[in-house]
Amino acid sequence: MARTFRFTVSEKYSRLRLDHFLGVQGLNYSRSQLKRHSDLDMVLVNGRPRKAGWKLKAGDVVDLTVIDPEPIGLEPEDIPIDVVYEDKDLLVLNKQAGLVVHPSPGHSRGTLVNALLHHCGDLVSVGGYLRPGIVHRLDKDTSGLMVVSKSDAAHRNLSEQFKKHTIDRAYIAIVRGNPRFDQGAFRSLHGRSTSNRLKFTSRVEHGRQAVTRFRVIERFKNFALVQARLETGRTHQVRVHFSENGMPILGDPLYGRTRKSTIRDKELLDAIKALGRQALHAAELGFDHPVTGEHLNFTSSPPEDMEAVIIALRRLKDS
């Protein structure tokens, strides 16, 4: 359940840090909980996301949105997972579309974490109670490669590799429209949208740097198959970058265009309907083994639902 609180800063609290200000408002939340909400851009000052250390001034309006978690108990569940590689320290899997990575409000069961507990038994708790073993994630409807830690040492090392952006990650996507260039890069700021809290955007005055390199794999009529290689790993980064550069990912319910479709080919329409999600697949994953230091590389072809759309697009191009 989401709850919203609004406060106006009085002269008494001028120059106080944002997290300290919220801490004296009589809310039943710890300072760490409030900081976490700030890190998630769920605390606004005068309509803009601000971090915990932001200094307030008299007259500022502070909006806090808090999502109270549902009581969740982690239980192993016999959910099939496609394991690509596994040893005593880590596991690499090919996540199917539709699978939520970890429990959250509204998704207390049927997640990848539940499946991993069944497959592995106990997982390390470094990632937190609801995210054991999880060092990164894919959106529910994005398929592809993920690495999971099975030991404390592996979790710490992999988390550091992700933090330093030394993990090699590339996605395959089908986008609407045709890129102007065969290859290039999107560089922008990245932050949560103030108009829709589910969305992120590059159209912010303050945010974190986001860089996506792309190249065109194949062009079709009004569509393109592209590779997107991450230099940073922001939430929804690939989806935002392509959408806000005029090439939304096919089937993206959050960042796709809402205008009426002009597609008339039945085979293509049927394939898109069967896809029922954003046409985005994590196709490459490379990293140094957190214990042995060996460099590991994994690749994964797009799943059948994306492949069916590609085949239909290719037939139209060649007809």
| Residues acting as catalytic residues | 139
At residue 211's C-alpha, the angle toward residues 208 and 215, to 5°, is 160
Element (H, E) at 19: helix 18-23
Neighbours of 11 (CB within 10 A): 9
Rounded to whole angstroms, what are the CA distances from 47 to 15, 63, 309? 18, 8, 41
Interatomic CA distance for residues 127 and 243, integer angstroms: 31
- Picking from 221, 247, 208, 229, the residue whose alpha carbon sits closest to that of residue 315 is 221
- Picking from 23, 15, 67, 7, the residue whose alpha carbon sits closest to that of residue 41 is 67
Interatomic CA distance for residues 19 and 1, integer angstroms: 22
Task: Give yes or no for a contact between 17 and 23, defined as CB atoms under 8 angstroms apart.
Answer: no
Cα of first residue to Cα of last residue in the chain, in angstroms, is 52
Q: What is the 3-state secondary structure (H, E, C) of 39-87?
A: HCCCEEECCEECCCCCECCCCCEEEEEEECCCCCCCCCCCCCCEEEEEC
Interatomic CA distance for residues 315 and 319, integer angstroms: 6
